[in-house]
Amino acid sequence: MPKTTSTKTDLSVHVPVADAIAALFHPHVEVVIHDLATLTIAHIANPISKRRAGDSSAADRFPDTTLEQAVIGPYRTTTSTGRNLRSITAVLRNGQDAPHGMMCVNFDVSVLEDVQTRLAGLAFLPGFAEPRTFFHDTWRQTLEQIVRTYETEEGRPATALDAAGRTALIQRIDDARIFDVRNAAPTVAARLGISRASLYKYLKQTR
């Protein structure tokens, strides 16, 4: 199992746990330890995503408010080659209880999805209610389609909607699982012409 060891003593204590999880679920799970101080990968076990220790992890960092949680997810991600991952992140804290690292467990579900598709076709089974993971930027296309359809129905742009209209539109976006995509919220807020704070307020109301 390919692996490298972190040079950060405070994060290295988590390396055996990462290796154990990856070994148990090999070859379908990779475990990545991110160093929040340097925004680099401190350690990676069974690198399905082809990343290596020392690579930048700036794109994987969550907002500070999200890092207040002990566990983030599960959520959906994709590799650079389009493989679907089901992921969960444990926030690692130092002696002062401040987040200084993240341990991300990424489960490659592409094989299971392929099996699911084949079985459904074989047995004429209906698809599951949960949509398949968005590939690359297709979620943006889905978002745009939802917004344009709603704008046509209402006869006005999304930026001109009242509170009730925004709530209804955000409900549709949420039903499409757009918010399962990491960092989708800022894009949605910009498209609707509202702040992220307002978006989260409306989202909380719909749920």
pLDDT at position 122? 59
What is the CATH number that goes with domain 9-111?
3.30.450.20
- With 0-12 / 13-18 / 19 or more C-beta atoms within 10 angstroms meaning exposed / middle / buried, residue 191 is middle
3-state secondary structure of 159: helix
The pLDDT assigned to 95 comes to: 87
Q: State the first-to-last Cα distance of the chain, in angstroms, to the nearest integer.
A: 42
pLDDT of residue 183: 84
φ/ψ region of 147 (left if φ > 0, alpha if ψ in -120 to 50, else beta) reads alpha
What is the spatial distance between Cα 154 and Cα 54, in angstroms, rounded to a whole number?
A: 50
Q: Which residue has the tokens 């006005």?
A: 156
Give residue limits of the domains in the chain: 9-111, 134-206
Alpha helices per DSSP H over the chain: 9-12, 15-24, 110-123, 138-154, 163-175, 184-192, 196-206
Residues of the chain with pLDDT under 50: 1-9, 125-136
Q: Which structure tokens are listed for 98?
A: 């401040």
pLDDT at 131: 44
Q: State the Cα–Cα distance between residues 52 and 89, nearest whole angstrom.
A: 18
Q: Where are the alpha helices (DSSP H) in 64-175?
A: 110-123, 138-154, 163-175
- Is-contact 46 62, C-beta < 8 A? no
Query: CA 155, 160, 162, 168: dihedral to nearest 10 degrees?
Result: 60
